[in-house]
Chain A
Amino acid sequence: KAGVTQTPRYLIKTRGQQVTLSCSPISGHRSVSWYQQTPGQGLQFLFEYFSETQRNKGNFPGRFSGRQFSNSRSEMNVSTLELGDSALYLCASSVGLVKETQYFGPGTRLLVL
């Protein structure tokens, strides 16, 4: 069974640009969560989707947005990039909302110059 996939794996952008990251969950998983991981703040929750609906959102500015499609694939978008957005962005999928089934993807490493 294929795991969670994220594309692209690495990305370099400049300040002010926008970026879209993609996450394909494990087949049959309908819940997708996004996290930002930085050395200073650790893993911070961005948002969560279930059945195409955003169910929860973390304390991030409105520049961070996301969506989920009918096939459970999810995208997150960051507009007007700032240097502080440089981080590893992790996507996790689970069967429904049962956390023990939550598996993380390999992440997208974003560098903002």
Chain B
Amino acid sequence: AQSVTQLDSQVPVFEEAPVELRCNYSSSVSVYLFWYVQYPNQGLQLLLKYLSGSTLVKGINGFEAEFNKSQTSFHLRKPSVHISDTAEYFCALYDNTGTASKLTFGTGTRLQVTL
């Protein structure tokens, strides 16, 4: 069975500081990995995805993530955050085994950016 673990439920950070949101996964098959962002009272928006190729993936809004197969991690980073980055961030894994295919989500990390 596959699973996604986001160890930090909340991450407070000052504006213009760097941030890293951690994501670890467990799966017995080859995986696709995603980061989604959810602003208050809205749906989820795709930030970036790793399907194959380069392990460093760049997404929207200046975010990037690095796929590390040996450590089964896919941490999200941004070198300098803005107040507008305050949101909930979800790491997700794509399960494409058998006849079903679905995204499995972590429990989310709330990023709180303050002045």
Partners in one complex: no
